C-alpha cells in the first residue's frame, strides 16, 4: 500500500514550549522547498509547561501539524511508539524537539530510504555539543552496543532517524528502549541500516531531560534486550541447561557422599555424620537450585507459549492472497 504522504516527522517532547514554533516552521519550510507532502506529529509526553497549548495553536495555523497529548510523562519511548503507530507517511523521521537536530537533514535522509533502499538510517552526531561527562560514556556505550548487536553504528541513541514506514509499524518501543531501536529493528528482520553524519546543535531553549542515570538504565536495558531476544520464545533453553547442570552436580555429590559412607561402614573405617560434611550441604543446595531453575523454566515457557501463539510472525510479502 502506498500512502499519499511522503514524510511523517515524529517529535517526542517534554516541556519544550519555546522550541516548538521555530522547529515546526523550519520543518515546514524544508518540506515546501522540496515539494514533499508531509505531516508533523508532535507527541506531548505529559509536559507541565505550556507545550500543549502551543501545539494547539500551531496545529490551527498549519494543517500539517498534528498533536497527541499524554495523560502524564510516559517517557520518550512511549511518545515515539505512539507517534509511529499514528504516522501515515511512506518515510517516517523521528527528531528531538529541542532544535539540536536540524530539519535540513530531512531530504537526504528521505533519499537514503527511498533510493538507497535502506530500512532505516540513524543519525550520527559526529561533532557533539554536549558536556564531556556525556560524550565519553556515550562512546563506550555505543562501542559495546555495536559489538553485541553486530550493527555498525557510531551513535545508536541519536534522536534523528529515518525509517521505512513498515519498520515503525512493526517494532514496539517501550520503557527506555528508544536507545536500541536499531537493535530492535534488526531483530525484526530490518537489517539494512545506514548511518548519516548529522549536524548537532546546541540546545537553544530549556534543558536536557536525561541525567547521568541514563547510562545505568541504558546498560540494564541492553542486558534485558539481549536476554529477551535470545530466550523469549524458548526460555527453557536458558533455564533448562543451568537447572540440569546444577541438579546433576548435586546428584553426583549426593551419590558420592552416600557411597562413601556405605563403603566406610562396610569396611569398619571411621565415619562422620553426613550432616558434618560440607559436601552434603553443597549437594543439597545444588539439587534445590536445579529444581528451582527447572520450575522457573517451565513457568517462563508457559508464558512464552501464550505470547508465541498470540504473536504474528512478520511476513515480508505474499502473493495469491486477497
The cell numbers describing 303, all together, are: 508464558
Radius of gyration for the chain, computed over Cα atoms and rounded to the nearest angstrom: 27
41-60: which residues touch ligand UDP (CB under 6 A)?
45
Candidates 7-15, 54-62, 119-127, 260-268: pick the segment binding ligand UDP (CB under 6 A): 7-15
Tell me how far the alpha carbon of residue 122 is from its chain's centroid. 14
CB 206 to ligand UDP: min, Å? 8
From CA 157, how far away is CA 182, in angstroms rounded? 9
18 in contact with Mg ion (CB under 5 A): no
CB 78 to ligand UDP: min, Å? 8
Tell me which of 33, 208, 217, 308 binds ligand UDP, using CB under 6 A.
208
From CA 177, how far away is CA 180, in angstroms rounded? 5
Tell me which of 96, 119, 195, 301 binds ligand UDP, using CB under 6 A.
96
For ligand UDP, the closer CB: 73 or 102:
73
CB 102 to ligand UDP: min, Å? 13
Residue pair 201/127 in contact by the 8 Å Cβ criterion: no
Candidates 91-99, 145-153, 215-223, 255-263: pick the segment binding ligand UDP (CB under 6 A): 91-99
CB 60 to ligand UDP: min, Å? 22
CB 43 to ligand UDP: min, Å? 7
- Residue 194, φ and ψ in degrees, nearest 5: -105, 175
Residue 176 has what DSSP assignment?
A: T
Tell me which of 5, 8, 10, 16 binds ligand UDP, using CB under 6 A.
16
From CA 244, how far away is CA 230, in angstroms rounded? 19
From CA 10, how far away is CA 26, in angstroms rounded? 14
Residues 6+ apart with CB under 8 A from 152: 146, 195
For residue 190, CA distances in Å to 22, 76, 166 come to 33, 22, 10
82 in contact with ligand UDP (CB under 6 A): no
61-100: which residues touch Mg ion (CB under 5 A)?
96, 98, 100
Tell me which of 103, 159, 250, 297 binds ligand UDP, using CB under 6 A.
159
Tell me which of 10, 42, 58, 97 binds ligand UDP, using CB under 6 A.
97
Residue pair 185/153 in contact by the 8 Å Cβ criterion: no
Q: What is the DSSP string of 229-252?
A: HHHSS-THHHHHHHHHHHHHHHHH
218 binds, among ligand UDP, Mg ion, none (CB under 5 to 8 A by kind): none
Binding footprint of ligand UDP on the chain (CB under 6 A): 12-14, 16, 45, 73, 75-76, 79, 96-98, 100, 159, 208-210
Binding footprint of Mg ion on the chain (CB under 5 A): 96, 98, 100
Amino acid at each position: 500500500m502506498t500512502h499519499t504522504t511522503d514524510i511523517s516527522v515524529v517529535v517526542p517532547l517534554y516541556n519544550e514550549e519555546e522550541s516548538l514554533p521555530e522547529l515546526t516552521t523550519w520543518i515546514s519550510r524544508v518540506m515546501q522547498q522540496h515539494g514533499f507532502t508531509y505531516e508533523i506529529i508532535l507527541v506531548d509526553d505529559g509536559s507541565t509547561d505550556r507545550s500543549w497549548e502551543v501545539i494547539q495553536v500551531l496545529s490551527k495555523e498549519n494543517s500539517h501539524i498534528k498533536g497527541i497529548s499524554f495523560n502524564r510523562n510516559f517517557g520518550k519511548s512511549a511518545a515515539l511508539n505512539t507517534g509511529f503507530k499514528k504516522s501515515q507517511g511512506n518515510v517516517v523521521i523521528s527528531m528531538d524537539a529541542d532544535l539540536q537536530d536540524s530539519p535540513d537533514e530531512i531530504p537526504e535522509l528521505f533519499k537514503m530510504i527511498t533510493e538507497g533502499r535502506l530500512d532505516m538510517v540513524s543519525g550520527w552526531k559526529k561533532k557533539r555539543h554536549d558536556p564531556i561527562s556525556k560524550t565519553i560514556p556515550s562512546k563506550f556505550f555505543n562501542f559495546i552496543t555495536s559489538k553485541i548487536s553486530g550493527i555498525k553504528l557510531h551513535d545508536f541513541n541519536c534522536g534523528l532517524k529515518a525509517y521505512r514506514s513498515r519498520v515503525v509499524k512493526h517494532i514496539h518501543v517501550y520503557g527506555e528502549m528508544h536507545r536500541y531501536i536499531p537493535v530492535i529493528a534488526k531483530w525484526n528482520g530490518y537489517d539494512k541500516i545506514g548511518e548519516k553524519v548529522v549536524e548537532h546543535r546546541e540546545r537553544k531553549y530549556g534543558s536536557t531531560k536525561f541525567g547521568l542515570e541514563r547510562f545505568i538504565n541504558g546498560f540494564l536495558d541492553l542486558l534485558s534486550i539481549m536476554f529477551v531476544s535470545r530466550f523469549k520464545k524458548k526460555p527453557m533453553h536458558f533455564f533448562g541447561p543451568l537447572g540440569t547442570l546444577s541438579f546433576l552436580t548435586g546428584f553426583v555429590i549426593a551419590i558420592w557422599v552416600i557411597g562413601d559412607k556405605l563403603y566406610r561402614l562396610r569396611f569398619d573405617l571411621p565415619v562422620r555424620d553426613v550432616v558434618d560434611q560440607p559436601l552434603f550441604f553443597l549437594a543439597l543446595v545444588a539439587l534445590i537450585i536445579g529444581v528451582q531453575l527447572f520450575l522457573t523454566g517451565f513457568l517462563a515457557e508457559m508464558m512464552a507459549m501464550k505470547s508465541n501463539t498470540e504473536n504474528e510472525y512478520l511476513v515480508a510479502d505474499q502473493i495469491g492472497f486477497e
